[in-house]
A and B are shown apart, each in its own frame.
Chain A
């Protein structure tokens, strides 16, 4: 692949597609790299080729992704699917793996738009086969027309529980129960944010629509649930939980969990971008300006890979970052940039008005975030329990990184992506500190697996600058 591109965008979700489209329209030589075989990201996965029946089940928001994908396809941006970014640094050199060929390419400007991941929240039994993320179940529906064979329990916190329940209701999947684990008392803090949220009231209306349909169908939507537990030997057999002081259980071979989203920060951390704790989102977010620029010159982080705002917000942020890249690369003037940004900036601000309400409504208690049960595995890869992490803190390892060196927690194949958040909460809680006083695991290259033979065969492109 020739490296004659000025701008490289990572990720073909709403933010990345909008960024690449807007920059390319202004004459910037743009390349978009994406891990998947087709554009759309997780939210619009397989939108171009999905069966009509499945697209109908997924709903209007999913179907509308086609507009953005078509605009991106029609743009002059080059698009390289099936490309893994395994390295990025502050000098804007990217390590890429494509068709088994590893390559280092430089870029004048980079926009990181690799999206979010579901917040990993360890609870007893979460490693059992039969327990999956709710977003994973949506990926199966979008990418493989696949739905659960038998009945399911959906548990966790956030609007996705209702959306997935509603989609499964349309698809004829028996939903045994929806268990909401955020405390019911959250409602009072949320209500204070409700007036502002009304500006983005369409989100609220949809939530009510899903809830109403589920209630009408007789699906139990149970709130204020605690102590979720997945039980079984080789596979999930039973879901246990507490409601008030009473224990309940539901027999099920499938439990789909979701505890909100967090930015997938691996690449922005490798690039050296600064991150901040976000108290509303209860996770670290990228520290960016209103154009998406990070503290590293020429590297922007946008959409849900920077901070959780959802697909619509991501699209507007992507557009703004594309304009900023065009300005930074001297394709347009500052005045042109500011003029073209007007609408997207207004729409973005209106769209984000729903967020403080949702954050307060679905705020997770610290007992959940810091894995109260000592026996629960926190690190799925190296099989390190919450109790072992607490012991490491008692032994004098007073940060997530110190715990990692001591215990191997976070050193397995996922490189701490699954346990990082819980470890930070456990360490902070053990030291009676606020979690923002801790630093997350330090990300190390390669960001994605690459074999030694692929590395040995590395091609280093000439700089185009």
Chain B
């Protein structure tokens, strides 16, 4: 969905999105890395299993929640990428019917 403005700033770090190695520039947020690699949806909701993606990029909507280095429910827009970081989508098929 997003690309870098200039090809000169190509990826310099490797992060693993659902186990797949992806090149990303240093210093960007995990959510930016997800959008640059078109790894959407970044989660499905616990309530209905609906697909979601980063929405506000500033930590107020909580729609970019992902599992980052083993910790669930992290705001991907607030965490900076690091070499070897493991980012997993939080997938749910939704709450069972009552």
Residues of A within 8 A of B (CB): 35, 37, 42, 49, 51, 53-54, 57, 117-118, 120, 127-133, 135-136, 139-141, 143-149, 171, 234-235, 253-254, 264, 380-383, 412-414, 417-418, 448-449
Q: B35 touches which one: A120, A146, A234 (CB < 8 A)?
A: A146
Mask for B55-80, Cβ within 8 A of A = 1, else 0? 11111111101000000010101101
Q: B58 near A135 (CB under 8 angstroms)?
A: yes
User: Total A-B residue pairs with C-beta atoms closer than 8 Å?
Assistant: 127
Residues of B within 8 A of A (CB): 1-6, 9, 25, 27-29, 32-33, 35-36, 38, 40-42, 45, 47-48, 50-63, 65, 73, 75, 77-78, 80
17 A-B pairs, CB-CB below 8 angstroms?
Answer: A118-B56, A127-B50, A130-B1, A132-B56, A139-B77, A140-B35, A140-B57, A141-B5, A143-B57, A144-B36, A145-B5, A147-B5, A148-B2, A149-B2, A414-B61, A417-B60, A448-B59
- Other A-B pairs beyond A51-B5, A234-B41, 8, CB < 8 Å: A53-B5, A136-B58, A140-B57, A145-B4, A171-B5, A235-B51, A383-B47, A413-B65
Q: Given known contacts A133-B55, A234-B41, is B2 in contact with A413 (CB within 8 Å)?
A: no
Q: A57 near B53 (CB under 8 angstroms)?
A: no
State the 4 A-B residue pairs at the shortest beta-carbon distance, nearest first. A129-B53, A136-B57, A144-B32, A413-B62
Task: Tell me if A's interface is mostly helix, strand, loop or mixed.
Answer: loop
Q: B28 near A144 (CB under 8 angstroms)?
A: yes
Closest residue on chain B to residue A129 by CB atoms: B53
Q: A149 near B6 (CB under 8 angstroms)?
A: no
User: How far, in angstroms, from A413 to B45 measured CA to CA in the complex?
Assistant: 12
Q: B51 near A42 (CB under 8 angstroms)?
A: no
Closest residue on chain B to residue A126 by CB atoms: B55
Kindly list chain B residues whose C-beta atoms are within 8 Å of the C-beta of A139: 57-58, 77
User: How far, in angstroms, from A135 to B58 measured CA to CA in the complex?
Assistant: 9
Question: Shortest Cβ distance from A55 into chain B, in angstroms?
Answer: 11
Kindly list chain A residues whose C-beta atoms are within 8 Å of the C-beta of B78: 35
Question: Shortest Cβ distance from B66 into chain A, in angstroms?
Answer: 12
Kindly list chain B residues whose C-beta atoms are within 8 Å of the C-beta of A37: 80
Q: Given known contacts A140-B35, A383-B45, is B5 in contact with A57 (CB within 8 Å)?
A: yes
Q: Given known contacts A37-B80, A127-B52, A129-B40, is B58 in contact with A145 (CB within 8 Å)?
A: no
User: How far, in angstroms, from A140 to B29 measured CA to CA in the complex?
Assistant: 9
Closest residue on chain A to residue B33 by CB atoms: A144
Closest residue on chain A to residue B3 by CB atoms: A149
Q: A143 touches which one: B29, B45, B61 (CB < 8 A)?
A: B29
Question: Shortest Cβ distance from B17 into chain A, in angstroms?
Answer: 15
Q: B51 touches which one: A129, A132, A133, A382 (CB < 8 A)?
A: A129
